[in-house]
Amino acid sequence: MKAIGADPRSAFRNWMVVGGAMLLLLSILLGISTGAVQVGIGEILDSLRWTQLAGENQQIIYNIRIPRVMVGALVGINLALAGVILQGVLRNPLADPGIVGVTSGAGLAAMVVLILWPERTFIVPVVAFAGALAATGLVFLLSWQNGIHPLRLILAGVAVSAFFGGGMSALMVFHSDKVQGTVNWLAGGFQGRSWDHVRMIMPYTLLGLAGALYGSRYLTILNLGDDAAKGLGVPVERVRFFFIILAALLAASAVSVAGLLGFVGLIVPHLTRLLVGVDSEYMLPCAAAFGAILVVVADTAARVIFRPVEIPVGVLMAFLGAPFFLHLLRKGVRHK
């Protein structure tokens, strides 16, 4: 065997995977312990042991903090994976879950409920999920022509999003007195998320992680373009179809429990690519971890910075994440 030297990236990448996992654990603990009532690690462990649920703090931890942080982490994972997958499959760095219609579909469906049947707020997640899938289905139908062509899909996505967005604007204009109730959902957030929400999103996260890990090598190869991928024996149309469906499910489940948090799905893939490179076998797990960390940390910060007022996590994420991302981008460019 001819020598080509060891991969200089491997140490850093392994460190990133381990570091990401540890940072995620830390941010989860921080998220659970921080809030209006500070709790210690001991109390967190106690509340996980069921027997100690009697105390008020344990109630807060078990019924409020843990589900909230878990929903945040799962939403982060789902949006990040959906973003990585879509950017890879569509070979477009601007692709995010909004591109397959998920955001606008969920948005319109949720708004119809929030404005027209405000007393039924509890069905918003289910309706939003259905709306997201309906919009994605529409985008698929419009772009289908002997398979999914990336450019056609993106254009169909833009058109469908514009159409649904128009519906949202119309609702806001004609029911301007009730818009107040929808603002929080539109900005995205985790206030009052419960174990029900965890149960709602968890299956899709597991499905997404399994699917993404199984297909990660094909995702890398789709980066080379259709012809090159086909030349390597990859059934391009089938793989693309599978991935887009997976991304749509991931994004739809995230949006349905957290509202419109678009930013994660766009930025985390880029951030991960800058840090660990384009190899999907590293990129997917890292992106999942970074997405979860970003959302959990941002949500924790959103709760405590202006205590007792909570700021919408989407706003905070954009304010903190965008400059950080720009910083990385400039550094990355200088590396070349």
Instruction: Note the residues at the interface with other proteins (CB under 8 A).
Output: 1-5, 7-9, 214, 217, 220-221, 223-225, 227-228, 230-235, 273, 277-279, 336
Neighbours of 327 (CB within 10 A): 10
Task: Please say which residue, 4 or 54, places its beta carbon nearer to other proteins.
Answer: 4
**3-state SS track over 283-299:** HHHHHHHHHHHHHHHHH
Q: Give the shortest CB-171-to-other proteins separation in angstroms.
A: 40
C-alpha span between 20 and 94 (Å, rounded): 24
Task: Please say which residue, 279 or 311, places its beta carbon nearer to other proteins.
Answer: 279
Task: Please say which residue, 203 or 231, places its beta carbon nearer to other proteins.
Answer: 231
Q: Give the shortest CB-336-to-other proteins separation in angstroms.
A: 6
Residue 93 phi/psi, 5-degree rounding, is -70, -10
Q: Which residues, in sequence order, are CB contacts of 204 under 8 Å at separation 6+?
A: 78, 249, 250, 252, 253, 254
Q: Give the shortest CB-326-to-other proteins separation in angstroms.
A: 18
Task: Please say which residue, 148 or 171, places its beta carbon nearer to other proteins.
Answer: 148
Task: Please say which residue, 209 or 320, places its beta carbon nearer to other proteins.
Answer: 209
Please give the radius of gyration of the chain, using alpha carbons only, rounded to the nearest integer: 21
Q: How far is CA 330 from CA 16, 17, 144, 196, in A?
A: 20, 23, 38, 42
Q: Give the shortest CB-3-to-other proteins separation in angstroms.
A: 7
Q: How many helices (H) and strands (E) does the chain have?
A: 14, 0
Q: Give the shortest CB-309-to-other proteins separation in angstroms.
A: 41
Residue 233 phi/psi, 5-degree rounding, is 85, 15
Task: Please say which residue, 193 or 240, places its beta carbon nearer to other proteins.
Answer: 240
Residue type, 67: P
Q: Give the shortest CB-209-to-other proteins separation in angstroms.
A: 14
